[in-house]
Structure 1
Amino acid sequence: MPIANYSILKGRVKDRKRATAQSAHFQILIEDAQGVQYRVAVNAKSKVAPSEVLYFFSDNYTHEILDKIAQAKLPTGLTAVPSKPNGLALDFVRRNLFDTAQMQPLPLEVPGEDNDLNDKLDLYIQRAMNNPDAELYAFGEPWGPETKLDQYFAFLPGRGIHDIHMNQGNVGQFVAQDGIWQDGGILIHFTSTNRWVALFLAFQSQSFHTDENGHAITKVPGGPQPVPEMADLHLIAALVKPQAGKPERVYILNASPNAIDLAGYELVDKANRREPLSGVVPAGEVFVYALNGQRVVLSNDGGSISLLDPTGLKVAGVSYTQNQVSQTGRLVVF
């Protein structure tokens, strides 16, 4: 079954322990405003080959999810989050949180500096630990409270959150944990400068193309659909806030040397509304699609746009923030 009680843990970083070969989780000690302590267990090695974990880190992150978090004014501690679109839930496939093609594999620990996952995590977590205005948000599955001391930081009762990684597109025994709108991750907010850091992890065995149950979409049974090396269609701009009486528009570039028929393709917005496309995009040209306002709607509060091919695979995905659509009539360029 999908992970239980999907939640966000908010608090301040008090300590950390690097992962080891014997304990392949990077451990983070978090404390809420009431002094209650929690442990965040971050996978630093995969149980399914290849063992190196994929990572995407950004130390100046922008995305519409940050607007949602600010509006929610979450208390410290654990907050349950519905696994559905247009809320606080993370989904690597549907929310366009980042370009998954930019994820890189890293080993848990190798000699040298800043060249393994331990080093990368330690850099950001220590920065938060040493900054009194830093707030950490961990997305995943909570556990506890337990009747025993925490085995890493010795607080009582033991409790915390894990599955701080992509939680869909799995293989083998982990397919049972698949689900959508339940991915893990870490966001760190440095409040005095209003700067955000994002830490996202996935396993190389997972697929970035999943169905509505979070299962990998495959061409060959048992094998996850690989991410295309290069997509021919790109979402390059959108008119999210048009002048009165004008339609919202999406701009699609065909980068291939051949015309592409859009029959069977769909646009998807942040609320998972879908709109079928039609028309032909000539080679090397931009197709401007005017939305009719009956299906896909581009929210002025920030949102995402995905382009699915006729088989349901996402070939392009972008996001935009509320601040990017503050001016009427201005294109958002991706």
Structure 2
Amino acid sequence: MALPYGYAKGKIVTTPQLTPTQRPHEVQYHLHFGLSVAGAQWDIAVNVGTTDADDLLKYKLPFDFSHPVLATLQSAAAGSHDLTGQDALPALDFQRSDFLANTGNWRDSGVMDGSNAVEPVATLERLLVRAMQSSFDVYVFGRFYSEGNGLHDVHMNQGSKGEFIHRPGDDSNDHNDIWQDGALLVDLGAPQWALYVAAFDQQWLPTDDLGNPTPDSKPIS
């Protein structure tokens, strides 16, 4: 089954905070901030890096993003939008749509050291602070929290191996899926939009209909 997925449109209301999460073999870092979503404050957790030099992030952060789907997002009401089970834009799939066309090459993140100076943290944090100060509309795609209001998994959500393999009928793990990729967009005022997308080095493409790597898959280049 597909995991609960969609996007929230709102205004940033708290300053982004770099937060570590201890995993078995690494420390993952997120930028957490509050997003006002139809009168409620949501917690947003955006993946920005890891201490694991063998599974770093690849990311894109263009400030000139353009795509026809932006018109759909701009006309959408502020609030949360459930896209679970959809197989077309505005649900996001980096392999099965042209969403990332003309966004340039993937960039390699730095190894996180707990500071805000490592990219993409430094640039993304400045963007989020600017969005908060200017009350820009912010759009966050990811998976909904199972408890409380929030979004996480703001990164590519397919192509992982091991514990993330999607087995039909089993929702006991945070598994791969198609049409569930995460992203963050900021409407900077016509015609300028900024986009942030990320994927881990150990997420491979292409993927099958469950979002799992195919036998001929390779790391994102």
SS at match of 2:13: strand
Q: Which residues of 2 match residues 142-291 of structure 1 at below 5 A?
A: 142-143=144-145, 145-146=147-148, 159-176=149-166, 177-191=175-189, 193-219=190-216, 224-226=217-219
Aligned length: 206
Provide structure 2 residue ranges, at least 5 long, that are not aligned to the other structure: 23-27, 167-174
The one-letter code sitting in structure 2 at the alignment partner of 1:121 is L
Aligned to 2:13: 14
What do the CA deviations read for 1:296-319 (whole angstroms, capped 9, x no partner)? xxxxxxxxxxxxxxxxxxxxxxxx
**1:118 correspondence with 2:121:** yes
DSSP 3-state at the match of 1:212: coil
Of the three residues 85, 93, 96, the one matched with 1:94 is 96
Q: Distance in 1 between matches of 2:52 and 2:181?
A: 18
TM-score, with normalisation over the residues of structure 2?
Answer: 0.81
Are 1:77 and 2:79 counterparts? yes
Displacement of 1:185 after TM fit? 0.6
Contact 1:33 1:76 in 2 (8 A): yes
Take 2:52 and 2:97, find their aligned partners in 1: how far apart are those partners?
Answer: 26
Once the two structures are overlaid, the 10-residue window that deviates more, 194-203 or 96-105, is 96-105
Change (3 A) 1:112 1:206: closer
Structure 1 spans left out of the alignment, 5+ residues: 147-158, 230-334
SS class of match (1:129): helix
Cα RMSD for the two superposed structures = 2.7
* Whole-Å separation in 2 of the counterparts to 1:25 and 1:90: 21
What percent of counterpart residues are identical? 26
Aligned equivalent of 2:34: 29
Higher relative contact order (CA 8 A, sep 6+): 2
Q: Determine the C-alpha separation between the residues in 2 that align with 1:67 and 1:86.
A: 15
Deviation at 1:110, TM superposition (A): 5.0
In our comparison, the structure showing a higher alpha carbon Rg is 1
User: Are the counterparts in 2 of residues 51 and 107 from structure 1 also a CA contact under 8 Å?
Assistant: no
TM-score (norm 1): 0.55
Q: 1:59 pairs with 40, 60, 63, which one? A: 63
- Checking the alignment, whether the CA contact within 8 Å between 1:20 and 1:109 is kept in structure 2 is no
Q: Counterparts of 1:56 and 1:98 in 2: how far apart (Å)?
A: 9
